[in-house]
Structure 1
Amino acid sequence: MNEQLADWIAKDKAYCWHPFTAQDTWTASEHEPLMLVSGDGVWLEDAHGKRYIDGNSSIWTNIHGHAHPQLNAAISAQLAKVAHTSFLGYSHPLAAELSARLAEFFPNSSLSRTFFSDDGSTAIECALKMALQYRMQTGQPERCEFVAFINCYHGDTMGAASLGGVEAFFSRFRKFGMTVRFVRDLDELRALEGLDRVAGVVIEPLVQGVNQIHVWPQGMLSELREFTQEQGIHLILDEVMTGFGRTGTMFACQQEQVVPDFLCLAKGLTAGYLPMAATMVREEIYDGFSGERENAFYYGHSYTANPLGCAAALASLDLFTSDQVLELLPAKINHLQQALQQLADSHPEVWQTRQCGMIAGIELRQADGSPYPQALRIGEKVCLAAREFGLLTRPVLDTIVFLPPLSITSEEIDLSFAAIAQGITAVLSDGRKNNTIE
């Protein structure tokens, strides 16, 4: 290890606090954190000069690859003008352009208004507060509850955390947040009593990410839209992960011709280059905040509609057209499907694979189909082993998540799955031979 790298690691361990991380393990003397220093396309490079495929799009954000010249140029051009201006009491051209571009994705501009914030969690936070305030200002104050789905994940700010269905993440905070009821599926939602108290239902459309890439049944989303309309309940779609081509269409809801009342976007909004989020709403909801000043939506962020973020987002939307991103996806999705099947056929430890567009989960289980003991942390060990073969990704429990930039090639998908296969072999097949896995 060179002196510069040793200094970086020492400072990280002494001063940084990493998310979702057991810090005692991280700061242990024998642990050398992976220090990433550059990127090009789907590849990242560490401080030792080793290259890796970014198999989870830098936590599900990157769309077109790293250091894309068009994105870099758009950000640089805006940086030469101004890096940030307040959106409170002022505006700027790129925010106006981006809002209009986003509205064009939906028929008759049905999601006509966009409220900008900072990340996926705050996009959800905005939707929840808007939904509640709308009810208060339209004579429906009794509608103050929400419904979410078991094992869902919608962010970590207090309101968003209230919706979280993963007990390990959210149980200790639940009493401090919104009033939320949880259901497994549409049948349980239909059976709930007191639906007249529900302001909105929140769901990740088509696929739940943190729930080990759980794919919803086909048609479920359109049925949910019909039911919420019948009940006068707002439908809030969390497309923080699924938006911007991840499922094969620009937005997941378009696959079932669903237009929600609130659409929450982040991650891929700026192609993963800058933190920025958007909460899109129908005009009728926006109209509920008109009139007296006290009806205004008193919520905001210092970096709302940041010009650099808007520049990146507009350049990303341009790339979807110029690079024919959506048109090229069916062949990549098919190739990913074949790679998943080949992996399952050749490795009995692969209990199930799940796919939604360019989002995939590979669940590992024991030979009898039972899960591995959680203390073994098999998924984590396989991902660490795959790193040695040139792939970066993370598991959800023992499900290996593969969610690469959409710019990935078929050859790079094959390299990724070769690394996953070698990781499975190193941890499970070789581990059993060496009596390190029971």
Structure 2
Amino acid sequence: METVKEISLSERDGRHIWHPLTQHKTHGSALGITKAQGVYLTDENGKSYIDGISSWYTAMYGHCNPQVTDAVTRQMTRLDHVVFSGFTHEPAVNLSEELISVLPDNQDKLFFSDNGSTAVEVGVKIALQYHHNQGQKRRVLLAFEEGFHGDTFGAMSVSGLDVYNGPFSGMGLEVLRLPVPVGDNNEKVLERLRELAGSYDIAAFIFEPLVQGAAAMKMHDARGLDALIAFCRAHGIITIADEVMTGFGKTGTFFASDHLENKPDIICMSKALTAGLMPMAVTSTTKEIFDGFYSDELSKGFFHGHTYTANPLACTAALEGVRLLKSDEIQRRISEISGWHEEFAREIGEHPRVASVRNKGVIFALDIDIKIERYGSFRDRLFHFFMNRGVFLRPLGKTIYILAPYIIEKEEMDKIYAVIKDCLDHLDEFTANTSRE
């Protein structure tokens, strides 16, 4: 009779586990990871990989950062969890003060939830109920084309990528789409917003500021976005910045909204919020938004809650994460990585197999000059090419991107760059069978 130790994690996993974003019939087995430290992941066979995407942009200060893990270890011996309706605790209060210190100046109130999708759900519901509380029938939402905001129904409704929500088309909220402003089309996008606002009662405009992550790190123009936010403010349309991916230093500032003159009314955050250690999310708002719920009428309160809202352990992890973000060391490293990416972009942009290249802060992305479907064997071959060489990158179709932990050393980043260049130099090996994809 076989024992647990006689079979691999991958084999045991395949018996019962259903993975996210996975077609199990064609994907193959999942790789068992047994350790994470700094910028490295180690599998059950002892092989290590540089985590070039910080495990979906979460472990930005490195895996198992001792400042974070030590603080959480101390906290779990004092207070593990308590209901957050009617109670509060020091980790949540301390975190609120630290978060407000790094958020744009107009942010005043924080609502806790569980993950990026729920942060967006909260933001959308707040916007819709705000108008309801004012006696206004505004129910239409506005979002960018190719935006992605999560997988729960409200977040999915405002997302614009069919690969994620195609089976649920027509089942969500009413959403209008705007093209992304990229500079030369800014006035056309603003004019389109004017047309939509004149024809629909728009409640809110939700957007990923400056970088659309799931759309393959598609970047847009800050001036164009600024103009859209200014128009919305003038016409009573609440603006919601989804900073789940972009927040906490990734664009070179604390938040991508810091690149804008006009600040959003609501900001959604998660992922790097807790330094990659625990799930948690926060939705912040202006005092004006909060005041729209402050009433003697019970029905005007915001009746939304999660069992693990403001979990003390998650709050402790987030508190240390914000402190790390504000440190001179992390700010210096963010600046260094941005410089490395700029230099690599100039070099690799000349490669004959590169169609385009872009970078913002610690985010780097390039598009391979090839026509393929977003998901398919080409993308999988790229993934395995990188993994075989000890680098974890997760291409989005023909887009290769880097979003490594802030603590990465130059030698380690150079290895990522070298593996990407090696891939481009040997691209014909990947394209032999892509004509049918």
TM-score where L is the length of structure 2? 0.92
Q: Quick check: 1:344–1:353 contact (8 Å CA) kept in 2?
A: yes
Secondary structure of 2:355 counterpart: strand
Shift of residue 254, structure 1, vs aligned partner: 0.4
**Inter-partner Cα distance in structure 1 for 2:376 and 2:274:** 37
> Could you say which residue in structure 2 is the equivalent of 1:33?
30
> Could you say which residue in structure 2 is the equivalent of 1:123?
119
> Could you say which residue in structure 1 is the equivalent of 2:383?
383
**Inter-partner Cα distance in structure 2 for 1:218 and 1:290:** 33
Shift of residue 177, structure 1, vs aligned partner: 1.6
Q: Quick check: 1:153–1:210 contact (8 Å CA) kept in 2?
A: yes
> Could you say which residue in structure 1 is the equivalent of 2:206?
202
1:102-121 C-alpha deviation (Å, 9 max, x unpaired): 122346x5211000000010
> Could you say which residue in structure 1 is the equivalent of 2:47?
50
**Inter-partner Cα distance in structure 2 for 1:293 and 1:373:** 51
> Could you say which residue in structure 1 is the equivalent of 2:184?
none
Shift of residue 33, structure 1, vs aligned partner: 2.6
Q: Quick check: 2:103–2:254 contact (8 Å CA) kept in 1?
A: no
Q: Quick check: 2:61–2:405 contact (8 Å CA) kept in 1?
A: yes
Q: Quick check: 1:250–1:326 contact (8 Å CA) kept in 2?
A: no
> Could you say which residue in structure 1 is the equivalent of 2:322?
317
Shift of residue 425, structure 1, vs aligned partner: 3.9
Tell me, yes or no, if structure 1 residue 152 matches structure 2 residue 147: yes
Shift of residue 281, structure 1, vs aligned partner: 0.5
> Could you say which residue in structure 1 is the equivalent of 2:372?
372
1:167 to 145, 149, 162: 162
Q: Which region of structure 1 is more displaced relative to structure 2, 148-157 or 400-409?
A: 400-409
> Could you say which residue in structure 2 is the equivalent of 1:429?
428
> Could you say which residue in structure 2 is the equivalent of 1:329?
334
Shift of residue 330, structure 1, vs aligned partner: 2.1
**Inter-partner Cα distance in structure 2 for 1:181 and 1:375:** 26
Q: Quick check: 2:382–2:430 contact (8 Å CA) kept in 1?
A: no
Shift of residue 298, structure 1, vs aligned partner: 0.8
> Could you say which residue in structure 2 is the equivalent of 1:134?
130
Q: Quick check: 1:380–1:397 contact (8 Å CA) kept in 2?
A: no
**Inter-partner Cα distance in structure 2 for 1:375 and 1:41:** 30
Shift of residue 343, structure 1, vs aligned partner: 2.7
**Inter-partner Cα distance in structure 2 for 1:50 and 1:78:** 33
**Inter-partner Cα distance in structure 2 for 1:436 and 1:196:** 47
| Aligned CA distance change for structure 1 residues 396 and 82 (closer, same or farther; 3 Å) | same
1:270-304 C-alpha deviation (Å, 9 max, x unpaired): 11111000000011111111222121111100010
Which runs of 5 or more structure 1 residues have no equivalent in the other structure?
A: none
**Inter-partner Cα distance in structure 2 for 1:334 and 1:424:** 22
Q: Residue type of the partner of 2:141?
A: F
Secondary structure of 1:11 counterpart: helix
Count of residues in Structure 1 that have an aligned counterpart in Structure 2: 423
1:392-416 C-alpha deviation (Å, 9 max, x unpaired): 0111111112111122222211111
1:227 to 231, 237, 241: 231
Q: Which region of structure 1 is more displaced relative to structure 2, 220-229 or 192-201?
A: 192-201
| Aligned CA distance change for structure 1 residues 375 and 278 (closer, same or farther; 3 Å) | closer
Identity %: 35
Q: Quick check: 1:128–1:159 contact (8 Å CA) kept in 2?
A: yes
Secondary structure of 1:318 counterpart: helix
Q: Quick check: 2:363–2:402 contact (8 Å CA) kept in 1?
A: yes
Shift of residue 240, structure 1, vs aligned partner: 0.2
> Could you say which residue in structure 2 is the equivalent of 1:77?
74
**Inter-partner Cα distance in structure 2 for 1:99 and 1:374:** 39
**Inter-partner Cα distance in structure 2 for 1:281 and 1:5:** 52
**Inter-partner Cα distance in structure 2 for 1:379 and 1:283:** 45
Which runs of 5 or more structure 2 residues have no equivalent in the other structure?
A: 181-188
**Inter-partner Cα distance in structure 1 for 2:98 and 2:315:** 11
**Inter-partner Cα distance in structure 2 for 1:119 and 1:403:** 19
**Inter-partner Cα distance in structure 1 for 2:307 and 2:279:** 12
> Could you say which residue in structure 1 is the equivalent of 2:183?
none
**Inter-partner Cα distance in structure 1 for 2:377 and 2:109:** 44
Q: Which region of structure 1 is more displaced relative to structure 2, 72-81 or 174-183?
A: 174-183
Q: Which region of structure 1 is more displaced relative to structure 2, 336-345 or 398-407?
A: 336-345
TM-score where L is the length of structure 1? 0.92
Q: Quick check: 2:247–2:272 contact (8 Å CA) kept in 1?
A: yes
Q: Quick check: 1:235–1:261 contact (8 Å CA) kept in 2?
A: yes
Tell me, yes or no, if structure 1 residue 98 matches structure 2 residue 95: yes
Shift of residue 4, structure 1, vs aligned partner: 3.4
**Inter-partner Cα distance in structure 2 for 1:289 and 1:223:** 28
**Inter-partner Cα distance in structure 2 for 1:139 and 1:353:** 47
RMSD: 2.0
